[in-house]
Amino acid sequence: MLTIPKILAGLAVAGSLLHAGETQRLSDDFLSRIRSEAARTHPSAVAGKHLAAAAAHDTRAVRLWNDPMVGLGFMAAEKMMRMDDGDIMVSLAQALPKPGMSDAERRKMAAMGRAETQNARTSSLAAGAEAARAAIELALTDESISLQQTQITWLAAMTENARQMAADPMGSSTDALRMETELAKQQQMLDAARRSREGYAQKLNLALGRSLDSPWLGLNLPATPPAVPLAQAEIARIPHANPKVRAMREMAGAANAEARIADRERLPEVAVGIDSRIYSGGDHRSTTFGVTMTLPWLNDHSYQAKIDAAKSRELAAGRNVESMRREVAAIILSAVTEAANAAAQSRAFSGEIHEKARQTTKSIEAAWISSKAPLTDLLDAARMLFSIRLEQRRMIAMQLAALEELHTLVPNR
């Protein structure tokens, strides 16, 4: 059972929504390129392509005619007998194909080849999703670092205000000391976030098969949440778009062909042959044409049991397709719900909630500067505003992760 990954759920760093220097936004085109690169280089995806190619070779390997059999024998007897009957015996036998057997075998191998192609697609989608999720984690970390940098800039300005207030004969140095402590703590958190960023960048490089020290520009999450597809529409696409379901449907087709093969095996096998006798002195003695046939009726119960077993496997394969469809549908419902919830929370945290928190912080800041509000109120308000901004970005990342899950289940391509 697949689960939606939680993107940096406990991250405790922040900063502004603007990055210094060049940045790259996580657009659909950018994530598509990331997925494609991962699918080209990931070992599991490459292995899946080789298995699909092997299955195609297996289909071409199905033959209509079995190899002919050639025999050679010698007679050990008196010369007169050898002269009369011939002392060298040459035979050639060819089994005739059973009606429908080759076609059933070819249909079975073709279905298994198509199933392997879908399995290879599953591996490619999984590799692409792994890289895309790593990019989302890195982008959220970059957003968090930028928020934290803005927070530190604000704290530095407030610390300077506290120092100036402490220089007043009627002022106190307590606020200045507390602000300096808060500033130092936030700086340590920023340093830790930057170290974490290196790890997330290496994780993305690993997913793409690049050198671990390959550099990455800053990544940005989308400013607003993308649209969330309808669950019913996505579930309706499962039979045509989900590679696991399609692979299982092909295996059900292979099981049907297997039942046909079992039915054809109970037919008698007919072979034609030629036997020729030659005297070693150079004269031809005789040539015999013959037909041989197996008698499968003695083992009819065994053939029937094999047919019944093949039909049971075919019925089971059909039920497994439906079981997988329901499992995928359940995951789609969870992914769509999580994406919708994350989008709603993102919009809430970027709208009225954020505006009220910003105005509250601004009002308390002015009151603190005029000595009408305690420092604790200012710090609490600033932390709340910081938390709201970070949560809004985290919700965007969670929505992208849920949409990425949907992409692996019902891809658009």
Q: What is the pLDDT of residues 280-326, one digit of tens each?
A: 877 888 889 999 998 988 888 998 999 999 999 999 999 999 999 99
Q: What is the pLDDT of residues 150-205, one digit of tens each?
A: 999 999 999 888 888 877 766 567 888 888 998 999 999 999 999 999 999 999 99
Predicted pLDDT of residue 169:
65
Predicted pLDDT of residue 19:
39
Confidence of residue 3 (pLDDT cuts 50, 70, 90): very low
Question: Which residue shows structure tokens 């192609």?
Answer: 117
CA distance 274 to 292: 11
Predicted pLDDT of residue 80:
81
In this predicted structure, which of 71-85, 89-103, 253-267 has the lowest mean pLDDT? 71-85
Q: What is the pLDDT of residues 220-252, one digit of tens each?
A: 999 899 999 999 999 999 999 999 999 999 999
Residue 97 predicted with pLDDT over 80: yes
Tokens describing residue 153:
């800039």
Confidence of residue 36 (pLDDT cuts 50, 70, 90): very high
Tokens describing residue 108:
């079975």
% of the chain beyond a pLDDT of 90: 64
CA distance 146 to 43: 35
Predicted pLDDT of residue 392:
94
| Residue 123 C-alpha from the chain's centroid | 5
Name which of 266, 254, 269 is nearest 306 in CA terms: 266
Q: What is the pLDDT of residues 338-395, one digit of tens each?
A: 999 999 999 999 888 999 999 999 999 899 888 888 989 999 999 999 999 999 999 9
Torsion of Cα atoms, 178 then 179 then 183 then 184, to 10°: -30
pTM above 0.95, yes or no: no
CB 64 within 8 A of CB 102: yes
Predicted pLDDT of residue 413:
57
CA distance 359 to 371: 18
Residue 15 predicted with pLDDT over 60: no
What average pLDDT does this structure show over 119-143?
A: 94
Predicted pLDDT of residue 8:
33
Residue 265 predicted with pLDDT over 80: yes
- The mean predicted confidence, pLDDT, of the chain is 88
CB 110 within 8 A of CB 274: no
Helix (H) or strand (E) holding 390: helix 375-409
Predicted pLDDT of residue 221:
93
Residue 90 predicted with pLDDT over 70: yes
Q: What is the pLDDT of residues 124-134, one digit of tens each?
A: 999 999 999 99
Name which of 51, 56, 57 is nearest 122 in CA terms: 51
Where do the H-state alpha helices sit in 168-285?
A: 174-208, 231-236, 238-241, 243-265
Predicted pLDDT of residue 381:
92
Predicted pLDDT of residue 132:
95
Map out the domains of the chain with their CATH numbers: 23-68+103-259+336-409 (1.20.1600.10)
| Burial tier of 99 (Cβ tally within 10 Å: 0-12, 13-18, 19+) | exposed
CA distance 316 to 16: 56
